[in-house]
Amino acid sequence: MNLSDRPRRLRRSPAMRRLVRETRLSVEALVLPLFIREGVNVREPVPSLPGIDRYSPDRLPEALDAAGEAGVNNFLLFGIPNGKDAEGSGAWADDGVVQQGIRAIRRHRPDALVVTDVCLCEYTSHGHCGMLRDETVDNDTTLPILARAALSHARAGADVVAPSDMMDGRVGAIRSLLDEEGFTEIPVMSYAVKYASAFYGPFREAAGSAPGKGDRRGYQMDWHNRREAVREARLDLQEHADMLIVKPALSCLDIVSDIAAISPVPVAAYSVSGEYAMIRAAGQNGWIDEYGVMCESAVATFRAGADIYITYFANELATAIRKGDIG
């Protein structure tokens, strides 16, 4: 081979490496989940998510200020009510915990982008994501309740609603009710591809939302399946989903890539609680370089095709991006 035909390595200097990077990250693409606890003057740690706290609405400003300092402006809200019932009525109560949280955020950071998780599992006494009939989740009776929850979030001031329940037809049900009630501009960010994953463990501890009996495999996806993810995404697009979520992220990068390839709308990857917990725990033990693994996992997710990254590391990543350590 003629020596001048040899491909040159573009890795010689930091500046050159930066110039030719294929994946670039933006602080604006990060979304920080927030756990909102009913009550007053509560800020309590989540044992399985070191560094993540649950806040009552009045103390949310502390979380918002920390995020603001890091440059994070997008939030995904989860509610933890004091009381639960069979219908999950706390999910759509006007003065429900998430609704209070939305208003608190609106007051403190009017510029923040507020996405709300729409689901029933935190609000139902049985811990399932929908209505139970004879011990199984009944898809169709759940739909109007989810739509009602989404509407109450929109009324409280949410910018985006994100149904995570995995019932069939819920994107359409939510869209119709929002439109009827005049919220035509509020987008639906659908958890289109959500696997029945063991990686949600710490979240269920944080939100007190583990099902009392049974599991979620009847409505969440089987992680043996890849083509089914594309089918789920297409169904949600037919119902006019405005953004799609794939979750978990790290164990589903093939899926993120598949969905990014077919999706006409933005794709979010959700790096879930178990991913954060693993990285934190191994880091705290000195077994891995926590900062390096956090950065690499984030970049890998964007490299797979994600447009938006939902992560408990949002503040730390934003700082890494601004320092120039990644992207």
In whole angstroms, the minimum distance from the beta carbon of 33 to ligand PBG comes to: 6
Tokens, residue 99 = 């609704």
Give the residue among 127, 143, 116 at the shortest CA–CA distance from 34: 116
- Please, which residues bridge with residue 36 across strands? 55, 79
DSSP annotation of 120 reads S
What is the contact mask toward ligand PBG in residues 216 to 245, using x (rule: CB under 6 A)? Answer: x-----------------------------
Instruction: Compute how many other C-beta atoms are within 10 angstroms of the C-beta atom of residue 18.
Output: 11
| Residue type, position 112, single letter | A
Is 119 near ligand PBG (CB under 6 A)?
yes
In whole angstroms, the minimum distance from the beta carbon of 200 to ligand PBG comes to: 4
Catalytically active residues are: 194, 247
* Beta strand pairing call for 113-118 and 74-80: parallel
- Rounded Cα distance between 220 and 232, Å, is 11
In whole angstroms, the minimum distance from the beta carbon of 220 to ligand PBG comes to: 7
DSSP annotation of 124 reads B
User: Chain-centre distance of CA 109, in angstroms?
Assistant: 20
Which residue among 195, 200, 219, 309 contacts ligand PBG (CB under 6 A)?
Answer: 200
Q: Which residue minimizes CB distance to ligand PBG? A: 203
- Return the number of the residue (175 or 216) whose C-beta is nearest ligand PBG: 216
**Residue 287: which residues within 8 A CB-CB, separation 6 or more?**
none
Stretch near ligand PBG under the rule CB under 6 A, chosen from 95-103, 197-205, 282-290, 295-303? 197-205
- Return the number of the residue (103 or 204) whose C-beta is nearest ligand PBG: 204
What is the contact mask toward ligand PBG in residues 122 to 161, using x (rule: CB under 6 A)? Answer: -------x--------------------------------
- Under 8 Å between Cβ of 29 and 11: no
Which residue among 155, 204, 234, 240 contacts ligand PBG (CB under 6 A)?
Answer: 204
Instruction: Compute how many other C-beta atoms are within 10 angstroms of the C-beta atom of residue 158.
Output: 26
DSSP annotation of 89 reads G
Instruction: Pick out residues in 290-309 that bind ligand PBG (CB under 6 A).
Output: none
Is 272 near ligand PBG (CB under 6 A)?
yes
Q: Which residues bind ligand PBG (CB under 6 A)?
A: 117, 119, 121, 129, 164, 200, 203-204, 216, 272-273
